[in-house]
Structure 1
């Protein structure tokens, strides 16, 4: 009996997996498909060194198995590597269905007209490559913007601590944190007022304590 696997990925842990998982589950429910297992990763799409993806790849290797994705870029953003992965599954007889590309949802092997089948498969391949190209271009654009942003910070002198962007001026933090020390303000209130994340707040707090000891 064939197995059906769902796979969804987000680039960071800050992004929620719910949307893609829901889309896959809804499709399976609407089409009476029993999902064998759902695999998820929260890592970059630049490569395929992801724990859940590799776990799925190890078992999705039997002819007739199916992998369902909500969008092609959830599989990967590098065009050449993504197409290579798709070819890997095709060579094994594993079908990859991508919800955003309707042609991948059609079962061509059940079509009677050979010419129609060839035309549909050609269209499908073209669409998959086009979507892979878009995902790759978006990845390159994002990397370019990140590099430009980092360079701009370095030019302004705002890039400190081995590449970490400077949150706020230490003197501003010191003035506000004294209110926490004096019991006039709660730590979370200070964080909120200064617009600081928890890790940054405690990094500045440690700096403050070291300075106090030295004085």
Structure 2
């Protein structure tokens, strides 16, 4: 039986230390710990996906997380992932849900599964509600920000919030016209204007 420990925080400036410390107390080695600094809204995370790849978990292995909301914050996505691991005979253990950590006597698996399903249903609902509250607070905070030059401005930094405005390069009109007429490809126009694909098409939509 192999063990992997999975830790997650939502952003790059948040700290994984508390989760990693809990894993170390259980005897986890550095190579057994997998971490992501990405949102819990879904499971499209680079290192989590690596656990599901050919180099990751196998039947009979165990995946351990500190708390259910570190695993994910979307209820349906959480249940879907738990079912994914179950079908592959990989046990998911959550340190803060003690019943998931118990060694199950042979023949009693269904009892523990029933208990765990109830707990996970409740806690995943709470995790999802908490995520919705965070998003609501963020929206309310942005709504209350002062407006300067047509943009919301942070009261803490005095800087505009959101993505910066994309400025048209000096050679935009020339290359845009050539692209529209089919004289150059979009890729060539991007290269000439030194624009990323997303920025190029955003400017196109503004024309």
**What TM-score, normalized by structure 1, do the two folds share?**
0.66
What is the CA deviation profile of residues 66-111 of structure 1, one whole-angstrom value per residue up to 9, with x for unaligned ones? Answer: 1110111111111100110111000000011110000111132xx1
Name the counterpart of 2:18.
19
Name the counterpart of 1:57.
52
SS at match of 1:143: helix
Superposition RMSD in Å:
2.3
After superposition, the Cα gap between the structure-2 partners of 1:102 and 1:162, relative to the gap in structure 1 and judged at 3 Å, is: same
After superposition, the Cα gap between the structure-2 partners of 1:168 and 1:61, relative to the gap in structure 1 and judged at 3 Å, is: closer
Unaligned runs of 5+ in 1: 170-215
Name the counterpart of 1:102.
98
Name the counterpart of 1:144.
136
CA drift of 1:164 comes to 5.3
What is the CA deviation profile of residues 136-194 of structure 1, one whole-angstrom value per residue up to 9, with x for unaligned ones? Answer: 010001111111111222xx426x6865526349xxxxxxxxxxxxxxxxxxxxxxxxx
After superposition, the Cα gap between the structure-2 partners of 1:73 and 1:161, relative to the gap in structure 1 and judged at 3 Å, is: farther
| Preserved contact between residue 34 and residue 48 of structure 2 (Cα < 8 Å) | yes
How do 1:59-78 residues align onto structure 2 when only pairs under 5 Å count? Answer: 59-78=55-74
Name the counterpart of 2:187.
none
How do 1:112-191 residues align onto structure 2 when only pairs under 5 Å count? Answer: 112=106, 114=107, 116-153=108-145, 156-157=146-147, 163=152, 165=154, 167-168=157-158
After superposition, the Cα gap between the structure-2 partners of 1:126 and 1:13, relative to the gap in structure 1 and judged at 3 Å, is: same
| Preserved contact between residue 4 and residue 36 of structure 1 (Cα < 8 Å) | no
SS at match of 1:165: coil
Name the counterpart of 2:3.
4
CA drift of 1:35 comes to 7.5
**What TM-score, normalized by structure 2, do the two folds share?**
0.68
Match of 2:34 among 33, 39, 60: 39
After superposition, the Cα gap between the structure-2 partners of 1:92 and 1:36, relative to the gap in structure 1 and judged at 3 Å, is: farther
